[in-house]
Amino acid sequence: MEMEMTMQAKPEDMAKPRLFVREMYGANVSLAIQFLLGMYINLYVKFPTSGPADAWSFAWHTWPVAVHIILGTLILLAGISTLVRSIRLKNRHWIKFAGLGVAALLLSVIGGERFITTQNELASYFMSFGFLVGFLAFNWGLYTQ
C-alpha cells in the first residue's frame, strides 16, 4: 500500500510570488507613463545648447523633464528593491529577470544623464534601449513565472 504525500503551502509562501506580480504590474504602468513622458519631451521640449549647467537647470524647471527624471529614479529604486527581495527569498527566476531589468534601467539613467548634458542622439538611443530591455525583462519574468 502506497502512501500519498501531499505538501501544504504556507499562506506566506503563496503570497510571495503575487508580491512580485503586483510589483511588475506597477513597474509596467510606471514604465508606460515614463515612455509617454519621454515621447512628449522628445517632440515638444527644446533643451538649451549653452552648456551642461544650463541644461540641468532647464531640466529641473521644465515640468515634463523633471517628472521624467523623478519617475525614472523611482522606477530604478523599485527595481533595485525587487532585486534585493528576490535575492533574499532566493527566487532564482526573479533574480534573473529583476537583475536584467535593473541593469537595463541603469543604462537608461546613464543615457538620460548623458543626453541632458550633451544632447547626443546616441545617449537618447541608450535611454530608450534600456527602457525597452527593462520593460521586456519585467514582462518576460511575469510571462514565464
Distance (Å, whole) CA 124 – CA 45: 14
Please tell me the pTM assigned to this model. Answer: 0.83
- Give the pLDDT confidence of 48-57 residue by residue, as tens digits: 988 889 999 9
Looking at residue 118, its pLDDT comes to 92
Low-confidence ranges of the chain (pLDDT < 50): 1, 5-7, 9, 13-14
Looking at residue 107, its pLDDT comes to 96
Residue 10 region by backbone torsions, left for phi larger than 0, else alpha for psi between -120 and 50, else beta: beta
